[in-house]
């Protein structure tokens, strides 16, 4: 069993930056698929960024602004978000697939507003 805890969300002005962290209760060394999703009110959950077998993938809407990374020593996945826009407002959730099991965090709210 793996527990994921996200933190780092908050209120930020347009153009600002935030770094989200997702801390896993166990080792992520062997995890080859991890990602960040987001869900805005009234919208479907969407994949924002993922690391799959060492390669990174991004939604078109965040390319060039967001960066996903991992620190195996800290069992943590990060999402650096720059040039934030009001459309980025959502609950952000991290997700890993370990030994065929899918794990989700509880999410952290990101609000971009002036």
| 8 A C-beta contact, residue 6 and residue 106 | yes
pLDDT band, very low/low/confident/very high, at 76 (cuts 50, 70, 90): very high
pLDDT, tens digit, for every residue of 16-51? Answer: 999 999 999 978 878 889 999 999 999 999 999 999
pLDDT at 111 over 90: yes
| 8 A C-beta contact, residue 71 and residue 97 | no
List, in sequence order, every beta strand (DSSP E) within 8-85. 10-12, 18-24, 33-39, 46-52, 55-58, 66-71, 76-81
pLDDT of residue 32: 84
pLDDT, tens digit, for every residue of 53-69? Answer: 989 999 999 999 999 99
């Amino acid at each position: 069993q793996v527990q994921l805890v996200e933190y780092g969300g908050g209120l930020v002005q347009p153009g600002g930056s935030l770094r989200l962290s997702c801390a896993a209760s166990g080792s992520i060394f062997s995890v080859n698929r991890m990602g960040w999703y987001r869900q805005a009110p009234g919208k479907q959950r969407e994949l924002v960024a993922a690391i799959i077998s060492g390669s990174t993938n991004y939604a078109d809407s965040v390319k060039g602004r967001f960066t996903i990374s991992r620190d195996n020593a800290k069992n943590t996945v990060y999402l650096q978000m720059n040039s934030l826009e009001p459309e980025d407002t959502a609950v952000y959730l991290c997700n890993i697939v370990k030994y065929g099991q899918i794990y989700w965090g509880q999410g952290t709210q990101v609000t971009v507003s002036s």
